[in-house]
Structure 1
Amino acid sequence: MMIELELIARLVIAGILGALVGFEREKRYKEAGLRTHFLVAVGSALAMIVSKYAFFDVVNSGTIELDPSRIAAGVISGVGFLGAGTILIQRQSVHGLTTAAGLWSTAGIGLAIGAGMYIVSIFGTLLVLIALEILSRLFQPVFPKFHKLTIHVRTNEAISAALTILSENHLDVKSYQVKVTSVDNHPLFVVDLQLKSKKLKKKETEILKMLQTIPELESIKFD
């Protein structure tokens, strides 16, 4: 009975540690949030517990030897497919890689808890949270973030005017794509731009006001 209580405690601890990672992803509105990370951690811990303890009645016969690491390896591979489902490719940008890596790390945390490695699991969780929450802020001044700007305009001249405004405000356009659609039998140009600047957030309101002066502009969206 005491052994079963300890195994249940392992599942609970794994769920809590996984939920901590998921909470960070949830508040950033990522594809996989609190529940997903909780389930990955608990499921991984359960798989490891089954791998280590579920076959004692067979192994005790002395005729069979089992390798508990095989299920752990299978869990890591399986979570790789789950992580791939969180990765989105939109035009020239890729989203969800960090969340996929977080899921993979959460599976490792769950496996470690299932194996009874409490201290290692807790420190692993702390390192994952540091990577997700602190490193991006710490190195943000060094590595400028790419921002996405989407504008809808009526003419090619409006595209040139928008690019001129961005250039005059020292915003580097890494890439942009133009898609032509039709609204009420009139052409509408949808322009997706990737901008690189350390100070874009400070100048966002000012840039929006300048872009709004373009007569042919229909809408603006900053991501």
Structure 2
Amino acid sequence: GQQKVKGLTTAAGLWASACMGLAVGAGFYECVGLAFLLIFLVVHLLPAVELYIVENAKNMNIYVEFQSLDNVAEIINRIKAKDVTIYEVEVDHGKQTPSQHPNAIFSLRMNRPGTHAKILAAISELEDVYVVHDI
């Protein structure tokens, strides 16, 4: 349900390493040096850029797992107290397996930048919330 791509950076790194190995074998040393520099910059600088963009994004989706469906109203009130607009809520009753708890995905619109961590912290402080993270 959370539809995340994993391992893409590792796969791209393996392909880049293989291409650099072929370039070394063919004698294109200048190209390998340039490729190494570019790959190094991408691997070390882009995560910081991504973190900045995600933290200042206007929209956010969060996954919350809680004790019972009665907790949804309390979660919504906690989100609204942070001056955030909820524009969609998808609730799963959690009855497919005995151990699965009810959960919901909230689609939020931030009215102020930099409130992502504050919202996650506010929801995780609730006693009946088991899991909360952004997706």
- TM-score norm. by structure 1 comes to 0.43
1:144 aligns with 2:57: no
Asked if 1:97 corresponds to 2:13, the answer is no
The reply to whether residue 181 of structure 1 matches residue 104 of structure 2 is no
CA 1:125–1:164 in 2, change beyond 3 Å: closer, same or farther? farther
Structure 1 pair 202–132 and aligned structure 2 pair: CA distance change class (3 A): farther
Across the aligned residues of Structure 1 and Structure 2, the Cα RMSD in angstroms comes to 3.6
Contact 2:23 2:29 (8 Å CA) reproduced: yes
The structure-2 alpha-carbon separation of the partners of 1:167 and 1:94, relative to structure 1 and needing over 3 Å to count, comes to: farther
> What is the letter of the counterpart of residue 130 of structure 1?
L
Unaligned runs of 5+ in 2: none
Deviations 1:121-160 (Å, cap 9, x if unpaired)? 132122112112212313543x2256743322312x3123
CA distance in 2 between counterparts of 1:163 and 1:120 reads 54
Matching residue within 60, 69, 74 for 1:161: 74
Q: 1:199 to 1:112 in 2, by over 3 A?
A: farther
Matched, 1:208 2:119: no
| Contact residue 149 and residue 192 of structure 1 kept, 8 A | yes
Alpha-carbon contact 1:154-1:218 (below 8 Å) kept: no
SS of 1:113's partner is helix
Shift of 1:165: 1.5
Query: 1:103–1:192: structure 2 CA closer, same or farther, 3 Å change rule?
Result: farther
Q: What's the CA shift for 1:175?
A: 6.1
> Is structure 2 residue 36 aligned with structure 1 residue 122?
no
In the alignment, the residues of structure 2 paired with residue 181 and residue 159 of structure 1 have an alpha-carbon distance, to the nearest angstrom, of 13
**Higher RCO, 1 vs 2 (CA within 8 Å, ≥6 residues apart):** 2
- In structure 2, how many angstroms separate the alpha carbons of the residues matched to 1:195 and 1:109? 43
1:190/1:133 Cα in 2 relative to 1: closer, same or farther (>3 Å)? same
Contact 1:177 1:192 (8 Å CA) reproduced: yes
Residue type matched to 1:125 in 2?
Answer: F
Distance 2:31 2:5 in 1: 32
Gaps of 5+ in 1: 1-89
The verdict on how the C-alpha distance between 1:117 and 1:194 changes in structure 2, with shifts beyond 3 A counting, is farther
- Aligned 8 A contact 1:149 1:195 in 2: no
Whole-angstrom CA distance in 1 between matches of 2:86 and 2:36:
37
**Structure 1 stretch displaced more, 123-132 or 161-170:** 161-170
Tell me if the contact between 2:63 and 2:103 (Cα under 8 Å) persists in the aligned partners: no
